[in-house]
Copies of this chain bind each other. A is one copy, B any other.
Amino acid sequence: MTDASGTAGDTPPDTNGKRRQIRPKAERRQQLIDATIRCIAQHGLSAVTMQMVTSEAGLSAGIANLHFESKENLLRETLRFVAQEYHDGQIDIMEGSSIPDLSERLDALLDFQLGRGVTQRQKMSVWFAYYGEAGARPVYQKIVSTVDRLAAQKLEAFFAEIISEGQYRDVDSRDLATGYSALIDGLHLGLLVTPRELTKRRARSVAREFLRRAFPRHIR
């Protein structure tokens, strides 16, 4: 980790080294949130300390309390960020005028939900760490509920479009959306806890099968 400040040049234009750096507030906050995510993934939510986070961010001990008022605040904002990121991604795809074909859009959604970005252990760990605490912390429940509700509505509307286009009978878009969301959550859980038994490839195939049974004319 000791980088090359080498011999002569003492103030090179690069941004590394141990010199104190002053950065915009927003940037520091994000830097700390990112570090928090890594720490939760690596050590588990219950083992995360402020020292750990600030050290992971490469900053000094007191800085997290400077930018977030308390540890609780930092954790809350970290959850908010992860939840937002996930749901924004989903909604972007579902509203997406970028992909006019419904079949392709369905595929894109599946790709996003079980693809590289979301199923990185890091993000999944954070996700479920908070879920685990949600039963006891109304604050967490509220954050997740808020973003979740919007995503659920969009998904329901999206499924309704597909049902209409495919003339599917005996299918309720709301129940189907709930089931699909639950299935995806459950698959994420499986990927996190029993990666040996459930590979990413098989998770995708299982989810695809669910959709195929509901929308046979839109999948495959």
Choice from B172, B185, B192 contacting A135 with Cβ under 8 Å:
B192
Cβ contacts A106-129/B at 8 Å (1 or 0 each) = 000000000000000100110011
For chain A, what secondary structure do more than half of its interface residues adopt (helix, strand, loop), or is it mixed?
helix
With CB as the reference atom, state the residue of chain B lying closest to A152: B197
Contacts of A202 in B (CB 8 A): 175, 178
Chain B nearest CB from A177 CB (Å) reads 10
Known contacts A125-B136, A181-B186; A131 and B193 CB within 8 A of each other? yes
Interface-forming stretch among A26-34, A85-93, A141-149, A159-167?
A141-149
Q: Are B136 and A43 in contact (CB under 8 A)?
A: yes
Q: Which stretch in A4-12, A14-22, A44-52, A95-103 binds the other chain?
A: A44-52
Contact between A190 and B194, CB atoms less than 8 A apart: no
How far is B85's CA from A154's CA once the two chains are assembled, in angstroms? 38
CB atoms of B41 and A136 under 8 A apart: yes
Is A58 engaged at the interface, CB distance under 8 Å to the other chain?
no
Question: What's the least CB distance linking A156 to chain B, in Å?
Answer: 11
CA–CA, A187 and B209, complex, Å? 18
- Contact status A131-B194, CB under 8 Å: no
Number of interface residues of A (CB under 8 A): 55
Partner of A131, one of B47, B128, B182, B184: B128
* Residue A133 interfacial (CB < 8 Å): yes
Given contacts A44-B136, A132-B129, A135-B125, contact A206 B193 (CB under 8 A): no
User: How far, in angstroms, from A189 to B43 measured CA to CA in the complex?
Assistant: 22
Q: Is A134 an interface residue (CB 8 A)?
A: yes
Of the candidates B42, B135, B182, B193, the one whose C-beta lies within 8 Å of that of A121 is: B135
A129 contact set on B, CB distance < 8 A: 132-133, 135
Q: Which residues of B contact A57 (CB under 8 A)?
A: none
- Enumerate chain A interface residues (CB-CB to B < 8 A): 40-47, 121, 124-125, 128-137, 141, 144-145, 148-149, 152, 172, 175-176, 178-179, 181-187, 189-190, 192-194, 196-198, 202, 205-207, 209-210, 213-214
